[in-house]
């Protein structure tokens, strides 16, 4: 926990849900980083760390852990540590006392994981109790029915290595059985696998397929199992899957999830950051061109946001803003440099290091990014950051003499642990037989029986990679979303409809006449809403019908854009005084009143002082202490606006309200917005932000230790230059939000709902379904728009919530990137027809 400067012990901190299943009170970070120390030539520190593991680590804890995470991090860490320990012992200088203690612990842990495999399918349960296994009442697990494909398919390297090191075959046998079952359950027509599977029946629970979260390392381990174990069946399976991936999922430079039964249909319109490993795997296979293309696209996203967001859309908007310092992109960068020798990838690595030091480095380590848009931090530094990120970045820049052993003699696990290649000929307790059924060799170059040697792949032609990258240099900028206030420009290359969606007023008779000409009519509903129905056949002409269709397109675009503004984005509180110097950035909730920090790119900077009374609910008794400072107050006792007025009257230049709920944190709670008091709050001119208890205590603790603490209140973290001269420009989203506020205050809440009109069998009509949180577009016989005529709130901008009637919350960015040229109506309708199926299939995607 790099912000609070202590380790995270499970049970002593508020639960973070499934992510805590990686913690088992077994010194996770210590074990996960053992072989990193040797790669970094810290052999003395490694020797001390191994002694600490042997002396202090207990694996017999009554705690439920993830089988997948424990395997790749702890079992893999122990085996990687053992691998480099015996290597150092052979060299004769270090570890002369070592007698396989780490391997003994790995075997002990392996036996503790075996009860999870007690299923008829051979697929393991997702969790196991380290002390009680599964079956006993004390285990508190064993009732799950589903697991992810990667969870069941990312065991073979560690389990086979454990069997090869110890001569105990059961581990490799269990891991092979799980892989065999997954292969048998692949979708036979597409040769793809789903994300989650029932461990008892083998039925696919989530039928979407990609190369990111939930599946990623399954593909990785098929190829690497062939490299490590030499079993042809693993390469055959990988190549079969790889052919399907390149046929359906790869849409260069994008990698988009599809449905295993309908692989030509995209399952979602965004990508998660875990797929960043895939270019590295393509390098291992020898398919360099698509690896370069996808890597370059990811790098352009990183240059825009400093880090790779946890998920981003096909037009490169932020979908999930977190970044837990994942290493997959650094991994692919290392492999691409090894394959091409292109110094460009050294520049990429330099950018990664500079961003980590500039934005993530905090006094006690490196903090994960809570939001890449604001630069706020999360009190989290996962073990994989030291196990993988440090390793790959060091190896990227290291010369051969910088590493005390030959890295080519080892293969990396998915957690970057080192397993020696000589295991392929040691203790072959499992007979190597081809268990790949119904295997058909494809007529392409996928089925090479050797892996390319990276040292001779592109010996003298680094320009090869450059020629592939060049067309992708501006792919992100070209696809960046238009500002909200520039909807009009999206139709700039063609004739504009006579009425703009944003100008439409249901009570304006001229507007109604124009709509009638375009084939759009109004139906008044009993609940006070109005439906807009467009029948192409009723339009005055075919051109008017197209105008009407474009009007509906604009209505969808307007709805989508305004939906994104429903929530104010998070703000940042940045501690800029000594010794923090801007390194600590706290996620803050915004206020719906006071100064709008998104419109003041320099933010508000000042020293903090505690108000008296602390709740700020009555006249301030220490105004001299608050004058020209940022006041700290506790939540409760009165309205937020009242607190703001009291400290503003006392001369404060800003305010921070700290939650009074002990232990609350932005890590575990949703963003909190401070509402007004129901009255006019225009008199409040100072900025107000809200901090949860944990983040607030970081500032209070800093005051205790350093007395004078200066902070910056802003819409996003600023450059750490003390003079704050080079301020980040506000994002185009903030600009467009402000412009749209002025333009759409007249607009009314839209509710686009589909119905099927009667008696219009020959008319061409488009059917839109927009209810209150997301959007669904379908193509039936009419285009119907419902508009609320009553209960319209006058806010800074109209907030449109769009929701599909039959779906859980799903993507709202996925509709309507309309072409600038005028499309024939048949073409538009055909496009929408495809969207219907896609949206219908996205039912559980976010969940």
Instruction: Give the separation between CA 548 and CA 673, rounded to whole angstroms.
Output: 39
What letter would DSSP give residue 480? S
Strand, coil or helix: what is 690? Answer: strand
What is the Cα–Cα distance from 655 to 649, expressed in whole angstroms? 12
- Catalytic residue (choose from 32, 220, 257, 328): 328
Q: DSSP assignment of 368-415, as one string?
A: EEEETTTTEEES---HHIIIIIHHHHHHHH--GGGSSS-GGGEEE-TT
Q: Is residue 611 within 8 Å of residue 620, measured between CB atoms?
A: yes
Question: Comparing C-alpha atoms, which of 358, 581, 757 is closest to residue 767?
Answer: 757
Taking residue 25's Cβ as centre, other Cβ atoms within 10 Å add up to 17
Is 510 labeled as catalytic in the residue annotation?
Answer: no
Q: What is the DSSP letter of 267?
A: S
Q: Quick one: three-class SS letters along 115-157?
A: HHHCCCCCCCCCEEECCCECCCHHHCCCCCCEEEHHHHHCCHH
Look up 310 and say whether it is catalytic.
yes
**Catalytic: 761?**
no
Contacts of 107 (CB under 8 A, 6+ apart): 162, 166, 168
Tokens 């998660």 sit at which residue? 272
- In sequence order, which residues have a C-beta less than 8 Å from that of residue 500 and are 6 or more positions away? 488, 554
Paired residues of 209 in beta bridges:
258
Name the pairing type of β-strands 604-610 and 630-634: parallel
Please report how many Cα atoms fall inside a 13 Å half-sphere around the Cα of residue 235, on the Cβ side: 18
143 is in an annotated binding site: no
Q: What burial class does residue 756 get, using C-beta atoms within 10 Å of its C-beta: 0-12 exposed, 13-18 middle, 19+ buried?
A: exposed
Written as six digits, the tokens of 153 are 């398919």
Strands (E), 233-352: 250-251, 254-255, 258-259, 270-272, 311-313, 318-320
Residue from 32, 47, 101, 216 carrying the catalytic annotation: 216
Measured distance CA(820)–CA(493) in Å, rounded: 6
Q: Is 624 a catalytic residue?
A: no
Q: Which of 69, 544, 547, 554 is catalytic?
A: 69
Name 401's Cβ contacts closer than 8 Å, sequence gap at least 6: none
In contact, 3 and 379? CB cutoff 8 Å: yes
List the beta bridge partners of residue 767: 778
Which residues fall in the annotated binding site for Ca(2+)?
414
Which residues fall in the annotated binding site?
414
Name the residues annotated as catalytic: 69, 216, 310, 328
């Amino acid at each position: 926990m790099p912000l609070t400067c202590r380790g995270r012990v499970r049970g002593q901190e508020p639960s973070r849900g499934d992510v805590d299943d990686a913690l088992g009170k077994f010194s996770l970070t210590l074990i996960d980083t053992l072989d990193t120390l040797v790669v970094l030539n810290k052999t003395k520190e490694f020797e001390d760390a191994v002694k600490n593991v042997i002396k202090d680590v207990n694996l017999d804890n009554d705690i439920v852990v993830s089988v997948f995470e424990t395997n790749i991090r702890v079992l893999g860490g122990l085996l990687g540590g053992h691998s480099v320990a015996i290597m150092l012992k052979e060299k004769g200088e270090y570890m002369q006392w070592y007698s396989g203690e780490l391997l003994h612990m790995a075997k002990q842990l392996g036996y503790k994981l075996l009860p999870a495999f007690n299923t008829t399918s051979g697929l393991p349960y997702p969790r196991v109790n380290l002390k009680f296994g599964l079956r006993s009442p004390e285990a508190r697990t064993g009732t799950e029915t589903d697991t992810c494909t990667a969870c069941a398919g990312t065991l073979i390297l560690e389990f086979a290595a454990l069997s090869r090191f110890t001569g105990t075959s059961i581990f490799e046998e269990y891991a092979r059985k799980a892989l065999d079952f997954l292969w048998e359950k692949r979708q036979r027509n597409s040769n793809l696998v789903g994300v989650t599977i029932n461990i008892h029946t083998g039925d696919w629970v989530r039928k979407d397929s990609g190369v990111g979260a939930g599946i990623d390392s399954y593909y990785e381990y098929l190829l690497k199992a062939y490299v490590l174990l030499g079993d042809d069946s693993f390469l055959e399976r990988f190549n079969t899957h790889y052919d399907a991936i390149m046929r359906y999922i790869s849409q260069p430079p994008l990698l988009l999830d599809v449905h295993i039964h309908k692989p030509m249909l995209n399952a979602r319109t965004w990508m998660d950051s875990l797929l960043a490993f895939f270019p590295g795997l393509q390098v291992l296979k020898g398919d360099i061109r698509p690896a370069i293309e996808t890597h370059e696209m990811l790098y352009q996203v990183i240059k825009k946001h400093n880090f790779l967001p946890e998920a981003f859309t096909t037009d490169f908007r932020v979908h999930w803003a977190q970044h837990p310092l994942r290493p997959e992109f650094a991994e692919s960068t290392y492999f691409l440099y090894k394959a091409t020798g292109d110094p460009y990838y050294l520049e990429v690595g330099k950018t990664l290091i500079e961003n980590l030091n500039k934005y993530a480095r905090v006094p006690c380590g490196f903090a994960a990014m809570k939001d890449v848009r604001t630069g706020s931090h999360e009190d989290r530094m996962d073990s994989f950051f030291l196990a993988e990120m440090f390793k790959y970045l060091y190896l990227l820049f290291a010369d051969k003499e910088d590493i005390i052993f030959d890295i080519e003699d080892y293969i990396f696990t998915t957690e970057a642990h080192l397993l020696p290649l000589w295991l392929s000929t040691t203790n072959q307790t499992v007979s190597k037989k081809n268990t790949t059924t119904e295997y058909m060799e494809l007529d392409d170059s996928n089925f090479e029986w050797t892996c390319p040697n990276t040292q001779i792949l592109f010996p003298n032609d680094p320009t090869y990679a450059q020629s592939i990258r060049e067309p992708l240099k501006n792919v992100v900028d070209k696809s960046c979303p238009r500002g909200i206030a520039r909807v009009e420009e999206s139709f700039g290359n063609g004739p504009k409809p006579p009425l703009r969606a944003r100008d439409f007023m249901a009570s304006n008779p001229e507007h109604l006449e124009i709509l009638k000409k375009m084939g759009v009519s109004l139906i008044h509903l009993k609940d006070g809403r109005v439906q807009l129905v467009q029948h192409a056949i009723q339009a005055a002409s075919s051109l008017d019908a197209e105008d009407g269709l474009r009007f509906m397109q604009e209505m969808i675009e307007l709805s989508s854009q305004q939906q994104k503004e429903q929530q104010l984005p998070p703000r940042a509180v940045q501690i800029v005084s000594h010794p923090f110097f801007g390194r600590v950035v706290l996620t803050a909730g915004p206020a719906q009143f006071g100064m709008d920090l998104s419109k003041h790119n320099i933010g508000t900077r000042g020293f903090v002082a505690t108000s008296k009374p602390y709740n700020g609910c009555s006249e301030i008794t220490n105004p001299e202490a608050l004058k020209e400072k940022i006041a700290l107050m506790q939540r409760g006792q009165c309205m937020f606006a009242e607190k703001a007025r009291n400290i503003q009257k006392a001369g404060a230049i800003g305010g921070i309200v700290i939650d009074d709920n002990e232990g609350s944190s932005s890590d575990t709670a949703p963003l909190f917005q401070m509402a007004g008091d129901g009255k006019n709050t225009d008199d409040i001119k100072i900025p107000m932000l809200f901090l949860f208890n944990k983040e607030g205590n970081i500032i209070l603790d800093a005051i205790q230790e350093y007395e004078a603490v200066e902070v910056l209140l802003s819409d996003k973290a600023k450059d750490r230059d003390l003079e704050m001269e080079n301020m980040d420009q506000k994002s185009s989203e903030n600009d467009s939000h402000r412009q749209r506020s002025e333009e759409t205050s007249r607009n009314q809440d839209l509710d686009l709902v589909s119905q099927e009109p009667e008696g219009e069998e020959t008319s061409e009509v488009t059917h839109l379904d927009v209810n209150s949180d997301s959007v669904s577009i379908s193509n039936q016989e009419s285009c119907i728009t419902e508009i609320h005529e009553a209960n319209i709130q006058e806010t800074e901008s109209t907030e449109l919530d769009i929701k599909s009637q039959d779906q859980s919350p799903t993507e709202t960015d996925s509709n309507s990137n309309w072409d600038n040229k005028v499309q024939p109506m048949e073409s538009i309708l055909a496009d929408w027809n495809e969207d219907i199926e896609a949206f219908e299939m996205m039912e559980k995607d976010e969940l």
